[in-house]
Amino acid sequence: MPIVCAERLSKTYRVAQKQPGLAGTLRHFFWRRSRSVEAVRELSFSIEAGEMVGFLGANGAGKTTTLKMLSGLVHPSGGSLMVAGHVPQRRQANFLRSITLVMGQKQQLIWDLPPMDSFRVNAAVYGLDDSEAKRRINELAEMLELGEELTRPVRKLSLGERMKAELLAALLHRPSLLFLDEPTLGLDVNAQARVRAFLADYNRRYGATVLLTSHYMADITALCPRVLLIHQGALFYDGSLEALSQRLSPCRLVRLELKTPLPASALASYGAVEAIDGRDVRLLIERDQLTATVARLLGDLEVLDLEVADPPIEDLIGQLFQQGVVQ
């Protein structure tokens, strides 16, 4: 029995339309005009308990709206939805105890006080007694490598420390279903890795189901064997990450810093030249030729620095949509 089951899920918003300038403002003041925007269109998918699923899509694709419908914050305009055996928008206490929503851009911790105070509030709200709350806080703090930060005011914490404390606050009631909206947004590479390791650990320990959106491909590759890709509110792809990754990026992006600038023609034999900015070069090289080509580059040219990465996920998704590849 799937823990999440969405059937032709849709959400339409009314959005005000206003022309720029004073005339537009006056017209808007007296004659309000609005149009319907289909944020999510007939989305159908299901998720089994314990799965870790990546939720991909460009900005405005409908990812956050879907997460908010799944967590019961937004009422769907159409379709049916069952999450953990409940209709989410009824927001029954048992349902709310079994889920959590973490939003990278928003925080629930009390800004002027140490995170510990926010945890105590959450413990009371979820009806955890002091000893149980303490045990869980210690356990999660250990998993997240949080120590004295828990007694420092939130406003004095670094972004990475704050995000880890946010996760602790969101997971204190030990939810079995995690909706994570950009949980690593703005974090440095180390903090991102720490958060990823923690989420994987949490999933293993408690068998929790995770639905994760992120613009960092590394989050998805590290955590999610399965991805859902949506575009303009509709499901574009549902399947393994490997198949999607191959399809999305047959090439890898190689960033070079050369000792002296070279024209594009001198670099064309190594791969597709994506951009040249003085001594900085970006090349797209096919995956199966990467090792050999990088060896050639290092042998032939005076290279000061070299970095291999996947092309930004938004670029890849954009390309995919332009190609119109629909599965």
Partner 1 sequence: MGRYLLTLRRFWATALASQLEYQLNLLIDLVAMAGNLAGSLFVLSLFYGPGRSLGGWSWEAALVVLGTYTVLDGVASSLLRPNLSTIVAHVQQGSLDFILLKPIDSQFWLSFRTFSPAGLPEIVTGLGLILWAAVKAGAELSPVRCLATGLMLGASLVILYSLWFGLATTSIWFVKTWNATEVLRAALTAGRYPISAYPLRLRSLLTVVLPVAFLTTVPAEAILGRASLSTGAASLLMATVCLLLCRGFWGFALRFYTSASS
Which residues of the shown chain bind partner 1 in the complex (CB under 8 A)?
A: 13, 64, 68, 71-75, 91, 93-94, 96-97, 99-101, 103, 105-106, 108, 110-113, 117-118, 120-122, 124-127, 153, 181-182
Of 268, 296, 298, give the one whose Cα is nearest residue 284: 268
Which residue number, 103 or 187, has a Cβ lying nearer to partner 1? Answer: 103
Token pair listed for 74: 């937004």
> Are 210 and 176 in contact, with CB atoms under 8 Å apart?
no
Q: How far is the CB of 119 from partner 1 (least distance, A)?
A: 10
> Are 227 and 243 in contact, with CB atoms under 8 Å apart?
no
Which residue number, 65 or 249, has a Cβ lying nearer to partner 1? Answer: 65
Distance CA 284, CA 267 (A): 11
DSSP string, 49-73: TT-EEEEE--TTSSHHHHHHHHTTS
Q: How far is the CB of 170 from partner 1 (least distance, A)?
A: 9
Q: How far is the CB of 120 from partner 1 (least distance, A)?
A: 5
Q: How does DSSP classify residue 312?
A: P
Which residue number, 70 or 267, has a Cβ lying nearer to partner 1? Answer: 70
Of 170, 183, 169, 173, give the one whose Cα is nearest residue 116: 169
Distance CA 261, CA 225 (A): 41
Q: How far is the CB of 144 from partner 1 (least distance, A)?
A: 19
Which residue number, 100 or 293, has a Cβ lying nearer to partner 1? Answer: 100
Q: How does DSSP classify residue 311?
A: P
Which residue number, 71 or 192, has a Cβ lying nearer to partner 1? Answer: 71
Which residue number, 110 or 234, has a Cβ lying nearer to partner 1? Answer: 110
